Amino acid sequence: MGIAILTSGGDCAGMNPAIKQFVDYCFDKGLQPYLIFDGLEGLIDGNIKKATHCDVAGILHEGGTILRSSRSKRFFEYDYRKQAYDNLKKHGINKLIILGGDGSFRALKQFYHDFGVEFIGIPATIDNDIFGTDYCLGVDTALNIIRGATDAIRDTSASFRRGCVIETMGRDCGYLALVSALTCGAEVCIIPELSYNLESLGAKLKEEIKNGRMYVVCVVAEGTKLTHTLVDWLEHDVGIETRATILGHIQRGGNPTVHDRLMAVEFVTFAVDKILGQDTNDGLVIVYKDGKFDFVTIDYVNSSTYTIKPNLLDMAQSMTK
């Protein structure tokens, strides 16, 4: 029995702790773990090696992924998937653990149907937009990076009596922006999931500025594509000098938080136990829902779109209207 791990799609903090736990735990179970470098592209190119403890020593605190990652168009073609399968056969690998998002999981589901290589997916994306799980690896670190940046930007905004518009990542999901706005004391939060009224918000802010407000913090999700619109609105309608900060890929890096490190260990441990304890599966994803770990099918993950909890959306209403 051969078992390997790879990382696919966008990187995130928490991947390296997961890789380390995979290697250490496999050795504890008497297995020889393998590492696949460069994601699905590495699977096609045969960038595979036997893992040693030295490969993962000292990586627990590092962001990103030592295995590197990729987004592979070639994997959509059968001939390249066959090439990937032949590479696994050379090493005797018939089980995979993949850290990534729903696109990566769908790719390996097709791989399983083609060649019978079992896999379990671990949700790893700062967007936190995978249906069926409350938490994805890397989210906590991203939120803490946003918190640190927002606190620092607020300091300088207050010093100059300015507004600041802070754009977070998340694709079409506003989770990062919403949680950051709630926990950083933002005055405005604009996300795809909530309607907004700039006229009423503007009237409220102008009254507060008149009564002594020194700054305005506006957190906006990249999926709204409204960052520069909000800068113009604050400057021309509200009447406060404003700067925009697009946090970008800083949110995907950095030292993993304690929470992300612990979740990485638990995700991997349960995933390895699961894939070793059954004969066949057509693709499972380990999820964390309502405080418990569980396994769901890829079809279930793809059956609907992730939605932010209603109570969090309710809490943000005062920042949108």
Q: Report the catalytic residues.
A: 127
Q: Supply 310's token pair.
A: 């209603």
Question: Which element (helix H / strand E) includes 188?
Answer: strand 188-190
Segment holding 167, helix H or strand E: strand 163-168
CA dist., res. 16 & res. 19, Å (int): 5
SS3 48: strand
Q: Which of 70, 69, 5 is nearest to 36 (CA)?
A: 5
C-alpha separations of 52 from 19, 33, 49, 309 in Å: 12, 8, 9, 42
**How far apart (Å, rounded) are the C-alpha atoms in residues 110 and 282?**
9
* Contact in structure between 303 and 179 (CB atoms under 8 Å): no
How close are the terminal C-alpha atoms of the chain, in Å?
58
Kindly report the three-state secondary structure assignment for every residue of 231-289: HHHHHHHHCCCEEEEECHHHHHCCCCCHHHHHHHHHHHHHHHHHHHCCCCCCCEEEEEE
Spatial distance between the Cα atoms of 2 and 80, rounded to a whole number of angstroms: 21
Q: Collapsing DSSP states into helix, strand and coil, what is residue 92?
A: coil
